[in-house]
Structure 1
């Protein structure tokens, strides 16, 4: 599985228009593309941040969808977005305990690592982080995205409500420190978002 992550920042007062566009026109455009596997939209309404992630069955399918989506992305995100960044990743790990809910929470850690350590990082996340996450109340899904060439990625955990996500912060901080040292990973950013929608089905897990 492969993903495209679109990260936009802008005026918080105008974020609702971007959400509506992504949830209507954006979802229709994605659903028409071959090997589309689902998508998620996550927001920070207070600061004006939006993360949209689309999932694809192959790297070629993701690449083939880029042209039509890049043409429509700007108009869909206007007038909200002041900055837009697009990154492509391989899905190294995906686990699902239950489907996420609208209004739930996403915590994501943006990471950097030696490209030679990609498989070590993925195995550490799979064997160490995933079992701890699965034991947390309110846990829904988790995933690890990696860019093997550039040595960067994102580790995300989804919770069914914001309270469960908040309650996990202390435990996850300790686990993140231990796992980062073991896998030789540097966390360069840590963020939390509200779940607008997330519809990747567990059957598509790699």
Structure 2
């Protein structure tokens, strides 16, 4: 599968307006597009950050959907967003272990790597990282998204509640350190979000 991420920052006091618009008009627009496989909305209410992720069964479906969403996105984000960044990734690994729930937690790890090491990263994550994450209390799933041409990646680890997310920090730090060394990647960002909504319909 393929994903598009929309990362917006703005006034925390206006964040709920964007959430309501994305959960209503935004979801309707996505569901009308061929190849749509689900979406998620994740927020940092204290700092005023919103991460929206949509899943697609092909690169073409993702690209075609963006023709519509590119026009509507600014109005959906008003008056919250002061900056909006859009990125596209291939889903290299999808490892569900439960059903994410509203109010749960997401930890995002941003990576950089030599494009020649993209397969090494995917293999390492699948064989070594995901199985260890699955042992963490409250863990409900993880995925690795990569941009092969630019040598950039994003790891998402989902937890059933904010307490489990917080309790996993030390253990995931150890997994992250070992995985980064094996896969020859550099960690360039680490963030945590509250799950507002998350669902993906299959991986085939």
Band the TM-score falls in, shorter-chain normalisation: over 0.9
C-alpha deviations, 1:66-104, integer Å up to 9, x for none? Answer: 110000000000100000000000000001111100000
Length, aligned pairs only: 204
Look up the SS of the partner of 2:21 in the other structure.
Answer: helix
Inter-partner Cα distance in structure 1 for 2:10 and 2:138: 30
Inter-partner Cα distance in structure 1 for 2:203 and 2:105: 20
| Structure 2: gaps spanning 5 or more residues | none
> Is 1:108 matched up with 2:101?
no
Inter-partner Cα distance in structure 1 for 2:203 and 2:163: 26
Which residue is equivalent to 2:72?
72
C-alpha deviations, 1:147-205, integer Å up to 9, x for none? Answer: 0000001001000101111111001101111110110100100000000000113xx23
Which residue is equivalent to 2:167?
167
Inter-partner Cα distance in structure 2 for 1:48 and 1:128: 34
- Runs (4+) of structure 1 exceeding 3 A deviation are none
Inter-partner Cα distance in structure 1 for 2:199 and 2:185: 29
Which residue is equivalent to 1:97?
97
TM-score (norm 1): 0.98
| Structure 1: gaps spanning 5 or more residues | none
C-alpha deviations, 1:23-63, integer Å up to 9, x for none? Answer: 00000000000010000000000000000000000000000
CA RMSD of the aligned region, Å? 0.7
Q: State the 1:120 CA deviation.
A: 0.2
TM-score (norm 2): 0.99
* Mapping for residues 1-206 of structure 1, pairs under 5 Å: 1-201=1-201, 204-205=202-203
Conservation of the 8 A alpha-carbon contact between 1:89 and 1:146: yes
Conservation of the 8 A alpha-carbon contact between 1:95 and 1:205: no
